[in-house]
Amino acid sequence: MNGESTVDSGGPGARRVLGSRAVVEERPATGPADPAGPVTAHHPTPTRALFDSLVGQWALSRTISGFGVFDGTARFRPIQADVLRYREEGELVTATGERGPAYREYFYLLRGERILVCFTDTEPGGRVLHDLLPAGSGAGPLSASAVHHCGRDVYTGHYDFRAPDRFDVRIEVRGPAKDYTIRSTYRRA
């Protein structure tokens, strides 16, 4: 990974807020007819709404199977129109009782209907952890899965965006010397 944390903590996901539909509104009759016609107000697509809804602070609770637990906060901060900087900070408690501060950072990029979770050791979009294509049925929750290969290790991420104030991420890590699962729950702070 990018070496910024004491543990592979995986990348977070997001939540669904709005559906996708354009609405046509009539302009108010305040003068002569406007030759441009009606104004079209665009509602964000589900992926855009999901991305925008991430901004702010979240309470984060994580278990790392066979290793320990992490409790802290996660914050998504816009740095460009389609780029968020993610930072989590908190306390890691190992299975042996050791305690210490831990943090991790990512970039989240919106690219069309995809959300890229990227490492911060390069420019945004340089190294991708997970390339997510959120999908769902109708107005229901969105979810996405993606795979990242790091040498002989594989990081499979499952992102469930269940409600406006909560989302869950499960990262399964497999490799010659790795076999564990990271489960993270985010709740709006």
Residue 124 has pLDDT above 60, yes or no: yes
**Burial grade of 33 (CB within 10 A; 0-12, 13-18, 19 or more):** exposed
Sorting pLDDT into bands at 50, 70 and 90, what band is 131? very high
**Is 46-188 a CATH 1.10.3720.10 domain?**
no
DSSP 149-181: EETTEEEEEEEEEEETTEEEEEEEEEETTEEEE
pLDDT of residue 4: 35
Q: Which two tokens stand for residue 7?
A: 């543990």
pLDDT in tens, 133-152: 998 865 678 999 999 999 99
Sorting pLDDT into bands at 50, 70 and 90, what band is 87? very high
pLDDT of residue 44: 81
Domain locations in the chain?
46-188
pLDDT of residue 141: 85
pLDDT of residue 153: 97
Overall pTM surpassing 0.95 (yes/no): no
Determine what percent of the chain falls in helix, strand and coil, rounding each to the nearest 5.
5, 55, 40
pLDDT of residue 40: 41
Mean pLDDT of the 52-68 span? 97
pLDDT of residue 30: 38
Q: Which two tokens stand for residue 94?
A: 């190992």
pLDDT of residue 42: 62
User: Rounded to an integer, what distance in angstroms lies between the CA atom of residue 47 and that of residue 20?
Assistant: 9
Please state the φ and ψ torsions of residue 101, each to the nearest 5 degrees.
-70, 150
